[in-house]
Amino acid sequence: MFTPKYPRPDTAPMPAATPQATHHPSVYNPTAYAPAPVQTAPASNRPAVHLTPGSVLTLAAGGGALILVVGAVLVSMLLAVAVTASSVAVCAVVIRSILKSDHR
């Protein structure tokens, strides 16, 4: 059901061979070999971005706020890892003392 069904090799139609026509110009035509003209990009109609002192100050304040937020997130992640590691260490000490007192 899921296997492909191919036609038998003797029933498949043979592709027709078409002869390739070759063209040999007997006269040199310099316009046939001229390079294509170079097209330049059209000038943009959009106005250039002008930064005023107020916009520069806003960008600087936004960048500083972004750095502070990213720093706070990274420090909180580091603090979470440190708290987890210390709690695992305390649990290991408690389990070790329980097992040690159990042997006595």
Rounded mean pLDDT, 59-82: 96
Rounded mean pLDDT, 25-37: 66
Per-position DSSP letters for 13-81, written without gaps between them:
PPPPP-PPP----SS--GGGGPPPPP-PPPPP-SPPP---HHHHHHHHHHHHHHHHHHHHHHHHHHHHH
C-alpha angle with apex 80: 78 to 85, nearest 5 degrees?
Answer: 95
| pTM of the full structure | 0.44
**Is residue 100 scored above 70 in pLDDT?**
yes
Rounded mean pLDDT, 42-70: 88
Report pLDDT for 34. 66
What are the tens digits of pLDDT across the range 48-60? 778 888 999 999 9
Instruction: Give the range among 1-10, 28-37, 78-87 with minimum mean pLDDT.
Output: 28-37
Report pLDDT for 85. 97
User: How many alpha carbons lie under 13 Å from residue 16 in its C-beta half-sphere?
Assistant: 1
